[in-house]
Amino acid sequence: MHRAKGVFGHEQKKKGQDTEEEITEYNPALPVVAFKLKDEFKRTNPHVKQSAISTLLRTRGWIVPNYALPPHEDHVEILRVVVRESLSQDLVDTVVADIIWAAETLAKSEHRLDVEILCRKGDPVADAQKLNMASGNKGAYGRQC
């Protein structure tokens, strides 16, 4: 998005080229930032899933979806942040701090976070009763009041 029209790689500008160009002289692009966990982080924290980071960020008010790339690259997942024109430096600092918080929180946990459990829309009392009945426990624990 910040490369001159027709330039899609990482080529350097030629010396002497004017640096003040109109916006129409750049490649059209979507205002998004896509990223993924570093391979080193994944190796040291195999129980941390990017989808869990996305879910934890929702608890802080962020919507940062986790996507698989298209076919032939679908083994790679990315997190995506849409950037608005009004994005301030304070907001950038906050979202980055929250992404780090989510990754560190999951890395410190001993077990893999099951994102599907967090996303389920069920009745926790009814779920507790089902677990209680399945275990054969007829005691007072897990019964609805």
Q: Measured between alpha carbons, how far is 115 from 107 in angstroms, rounded to an integer? A: 15
DSSP 46: T
Tokens of 56: 């934890």
Q: Domain extents for the chain?
A: 30-116
The residue ranking higher by pLDDT, 74 or 133, is 74
Reported as a single tens digit per residue, the pLDDT across 35-75 is: 999 999 999 999 899 999 999 999 899 999 999 988 888 88
Reported as a single tens digit per residue, the pLDDT across 83-97 is: 887 888 999 999 999
Reported as a single tens digit per residue, the pLDDT across 23-38 is: 677 777 778 899 999 9
How many residues in the chain?
145
Which band of pLDDT confidence, cut at 50, 70 and 90, is reported for residue 130? low
Question: Would you say the pTM of this structure is higher than 0.95?
Answer: no
The residue ranking higher by pLDDT, 121 or 3, is 3
Cβ–Cβ contacts within 10 Å for residue 99, how many? 20
Q: What is the per-residue pLDDT for 135? A: 52
- CB-CB contact of 44 with 64 (8 Å): no
Domain 30-116 sits in CATH 3.90.1150.160: yes
Average pLDDT over residues 105-122: 68
Q: Measured between alpha carbons, how far is 11 from 13 in angstroms, rounded to an integer? A: 7
